[in-house]
Amino acid sequence: MRLHNRNVRQDVRELGALLGDVLEDQTSRRAFETVESCRRTAIEYRSGDLESREPLIAELEGLSPHQQRIVARAFTTYFELINLAEERERVRTIRTASQEGTLEDSLETAAAELGEADVETVRQVLDDVLIEPTFTAHPTEARRKTVKSKLREISTSLETVDERLLTDKEEGQVWRDVDAEVTSLWQTPQVRNRQPEPEDEARNVQWYLENTLFDVVGEVYDELADAIDEEVPGSLEIPKLFEFRSWAGSDRDGNPYVTPEVTANTLERQRSVVLEQYRDQLKRLSGVLSQDGSRIDAGSAFQASLEEDRERLPGTARTAEERYPDEPYRQKLKLMRERLRRVGDVRPGGYETVEGLRNDLAVIAESLRDNGAESVVDAHVDPIRRRVATFGFSLASLDLRDHQQKHTDAIAEALEAEGIDYHGLSEDERVEFLTDAVLQDEPVIDLERTTDLSDDAARVLDLFDRLAAWQTEYGSNAIDTYCISMTEEPSHVLEVLFLADQAGVVSLPEHSGIDIVPLLETEYALSGARRIMGTLFENEAYAQALEARGRTQEIMLGYSDSNKENGFLAANWSLYKNQRRLGEICDDHDVTMRLFHGRGGSISRGGGPMNEALLALPNSTVTGQVKFTEQGEAIAEKYANPRIAERNIEQMLNAQLRARKQALDQPEEEVPEEWVDAMETMADAARREYRDLLESDGFVRYFEQATPITVIEDLDLGSRPASRSGERTVEDLRAIPWVFSWTQSRCILPGWYALATGIDAYADDGGSMETLQEMYEEWPFFRTTLDNAALSLSRTELEIAERYAEMADDDLRERFFPRVTDEYARASELITEIGQREQLHTRDWLGENLERRNPYVDPLNMLQVYLLDRTHRTDIEERTLRLTVKGIAAGMKNTG
């Protein structure tokens, strides 16, 4: 059976040719020939026909500023189109493997593994698993929303010509549409002319939830149900397995533009979107449920539910009866749609909670089953029920987040009016004070009295005051988590509990309306995990709050700042160890742990294949519940195309189901002491080398001169400032621009630096290559760590990085660049030897991808270096420089 009409080479060739035609039409024959000449020269060097890149460099530098801008635009647009071709190839691979029954990490393979266990174990695994992808607004996609919309249209056209049988005339019409979109894309500004606002970022996240995930999730549930039925005896109900969350519009850490008004607008917009989706779904369901009431017995439960709605909405009930006489299901659905329309309305009769809608759908499903319409329930009712269970009335629940210092300072200012010197208290005294304040009935501070407070303190108190109102208006599930950045003491968590208590969101011991989530990201915090969490679990006030939340504690781990502070290898080992330690602490206090992995898109910020990451977690930490961030371009890559989105969710679910079963079978992962000692030796040496590099005199100046960090800081990539205080230090710089800058210069140092130093230190200490090879073969953590480093090494191009290094002062370049290249060469050699393979990476597609892309990224890099090195740039040169950043990001498929 032939599934597709095309292949990736054909797509790349024809899209490239079409772009060439548009380029010539929109500019000139000379401009087209200039771009072609740059392209050919880059390819000739890569293929070995030229000895150096000097001809390419000379050609680029000899162009006028206007011509340079055309070249930058041409290659940037090329990558936008080629990314679509590769996305289409991913879809082909998925569909072909699915048809042939060879799809790895499928729900069928997960069900087969579960089928080896008894039914009760399978039921427990399903009940335990809850996966919570959490979309963040940093970094915002480098692409403008307008550009993204045009690319989606082209993607749809590629799907049409690839998967449908078309006449020549029909195919010609499709390519005419593609031509029009590419022409429009060329004429559209690639670079934003303003910084995106937080509500823009929230709408961006909402787009993926509304247009892709809302439909895809139901299909994943259906596939799992079928697979479980096939492998597991009996009839198992598939519970809720996914919940989507978002920081967009609610993450205040370092972003003064995320105001309470932004959060309120996000909550309202998301509710409106999801309610409209449900109304549309029920309208379509009404077209299916046309059963004649005189020929069926709808049942007493259904009839009672229908009568209750008639009493609530008598006017709508009369209309429904007139429109649908003797069609009870349609009458019910008409009333349900009206109840949805009145959610949040001043008119009575609307659903007060999502449970009301879920109950109505359950009543309909039960009635249909009693009338022999099981297939109708499976095909039409259950998918809606699963969407309602997943998306609720909020589409995605919002997490609040802010820096711990903001809470400390706000409380100190508020308490100063009460005669209390909070700043002067020791940590133990703060814990005691906050505990007593939460447990007493009378409030300590008035959250509305902010006149004499600083702006920052007033914003904190206003937020908590508004939180109570939001939970009343939208339901506590819509905004029920508060994450605390840079948590380092128990008091940092108790401060949020205190503020929530003062707001009435917490009323102990009966009620706690929020999960308070410490974000452990510094070495001090991670190594002090038992001190922090043990103190909280044994604290009288916090213990009551935890009890009210079902004794589940969410703990967030910061991959980005941990890596920036300690380096790749040391950060990965620290995170692994501390996950196990946190699992032990929670077990000691009979608390269920939910780890929240603060992963970025790049390898150095915790990125990499999610399913592999989930399977590499220590068994003792796999409780079934897991949460992780999805950021920047990674969101578009994973969730823009419905089939790829479905595949990503399927892989996540496959991994988590298998990991949970494995954790039940073997609660404690048996890691040989020899391996642990080896990792300790490697990590300690790697950390020292990494810190020595960062702390070397002149390194920050080298970083500033040898990467485009100064340009990246001025790009309108997101609403959040690039640094925390405006200081030029590695510590103050946010992890995203830190990684983005190295990625642009093709020296992806944060993803591998000091790895070789660590491994060599282990060898010098008496370690053996055989042991390392054994660790790689048998230990998922070690294998995943090295494979991820290999991906970063594979994407590193030191010849190009050297061009950037040449912009640095001679003494800085001579001190730092050889140090980096030596580390790269040794790491590449060691990884191939440990993995016992000839090439760095293990993925064939990556080699093809790099071979296809590298010649086209090269001109953008060379042009960027030329423009960066100019002392004074004209306005057009400045715009071209910014465009090269976008183009390289598209070519590397990463902003950091």
Q: Return left, alpha or beta for 699; rule: phi > 0 is left, psi -120 to 50 is alpha, else beta.
A: alpha
Element (H, E) at 519: strand 515-520
Report how far residue 325's alpha carbon sits from residue 290's, in angstroms, rounded to the nearest whole number. 11
Tokens 């997960």 locate to: 110
Report how far residue 25's alpha carbon sits from residue 31's, in angstroms, rounded to the nearest whole number. 10
Q: What are residue 483's DSSP bridge partners?
A: 401, 517
- Cβ atoms within 10 A of the Cβ of 662, count? 16
523 with 566: CB under 8 angstroms? yes
Please name the amino acid found at residue 447: L
Please state the three-class secondary structure of 817-852 as a single string.
Answer: HHHHHHHHHHHHHHHHHHCCCCCCCCCHHHHHHHHH
Omega prior to 721 cis, within 30 of 0: no
Omega prior to 509 cis, within 30 of 0: yes
Q: What are residue 595's DSSP bridge partners?
A: 555, 626
Two structure tokens written together for 698:
């002149």
Structure-derived torsion over alpha carbons of residues 383, 389, 395, 399, reported in degrees to the nearest 10: -150
Q: Catalytic residues, which ones?
A: 138, 564
204 with 145: CB under 8 angstroms? yes
Cβ-Cβ contacts under 8 Å for 115 (sequence gap 6 or more): 122, 231, 232
Q: What are phi and psi of 481, to 5 degrees?
A: -135, 140
Two structure tokens written together for 683:
């990590």
- Cβ atoms within 10 A of the Cβ of 165, count? 8
Cβ-Cβ contacts under 8 Å for 322 (sequence gap 6 or more): none
Element (H, E) at 52: none
Report how far residue 198's alpha carbon sits from residue 254's, in angstroms, rounded to the nearest whole number. 12
Nearest to 536 by CA among 521, 546, 526: 546
Two structure tokens written together for 168:
């020549």
Tell me if residue 269 falls in helix, strand or coil: helix
CA distances from residue 675 to 678, 788, 866 in whole angstroms, order as listed: 5, 19, 47
Helix, strand, coil tally for the chain in percent (to 5): 65, 5, 30
336 with 282: CB under 8 angstroms? yes
